[in-house]
Amino acid sequence: MTGVLRVGNASGFYGDRFDALREMLTGGELDVLTGDYLAELTMLILARDRLKDPAAGYARTFLRQLEECLGLAHERSVRIVVNAGGLNPAGLADAVRKLADRLGVPVRVAHVEGDDLTAAHPAGPDSARPGQTATGSLATHAYLGGFGIAACLREGAGIVVTGRVSDAALVSGPAAAHFGWGPGDYDRLAGAVVAGHLLECGAQVTGGNYAFFTDHDPDRLRRPGFPLAEIHPDGTAVVTKHPGTGGVVDVGTVTAQLLYETAGARYAGPDVTARLDTVRLSQDGPDRVRVEGVRGEAPPPTLKVGRNRLGGHRNEVAFVLTGLDVERKAALVRSQMEDALGTADGRPAEVRWDLVRTDRPDAPTEETASALLRLVVRDPRPEAVGRALTGAAVELALASYPGFHVLAPPGKGSPYGVFEAAYVPRDGVAHEAVLDDGRRLPVPAPPDTRVLAAVPEPPLPAPLPPGPVRRAPLGLVAGARSGDKGGDANVGVWARDDDAWRWLAHELTADRFRDLLPETRALTVVRHVLPALRALNFVVEGVLGEGVAAQARFDPQAKALGEWLRSRHLDIPEALL
Residue 392 has φ and ψ, to the nearest 5°, of -60, -35
Q: Residue 129: its pLDDT value, please?
A: 34
H and E: helices and strands count for the chain? 14, 26
Q: Residue 132: its pLDDT value, please?
A: 34
User: Cβ(144)–Cβ(431) under 8 Å?
Assistant: yes
User: Cβ(441)–Cβ(151) under 8 Å?
Assistant: yes
What would the pLDDT profile of 45-71 be if each residue is shown by its tens digit?
999 899 899 999 999 999 999 999 999
Q: Residue 344: its pLDDT value, please?
A: 52
Q: Residue 538: its pLDDT value, please?
A: 98
Low-confidence ranges of the chain (pLDDT < 70): 1-2, 122-136, 343-345
The residues, ordered by sequence, that sit 6+ positions from 314 with a Cβ below 8 Å of its Cβ are 376, 377, 378, 385, 413, 414, 415, 416, 550, 551
Domain range summary for the chain, segments of one domain joined by +: 311-418, 469-576
- Cα–Cα distance for residue pair 189/169, rounded to 1 Å: 10
- Cα–Cα distance for residue pair 552/346, rounded to 1 Å: 22
Q: Residue 124: its pLDDT value, please?
A: 47
Question: Is the domain defined by 311-418 classed in CATH 3.20.20.140?
Answer: no
The residues, ordered by sequence, that sit 6+ positions from 161 with a Cβ below 8 Å of its Cβ are 58, 82, 83, 84, 85, 89, 92, 93, 96, 109, 110, 111, 112
Q: pTM score, two decimals?
A: 0.94
Q: Residue 341: its pLDDT value, please?
A: 84
Q: Bridge partners of 230?
A: 6, 238
Q: Bridge partners of 275?
A: 266, 295
CA dihedral 85, 88, 91, 97 (to 10 degrees): 20
What would the pLDDT profile of 89-141 be if each residue is shown by its tens digit?
999 999 999 999 999 999 999 999 999 999 887 654 333 333 333 356 899 99
CA dihedral 486, 487, 490, 491 (to 10 degrees): 130
Pairing between β-strand 227-231 and β-strand 137-142 as defined by DSSP bridges: unpaired
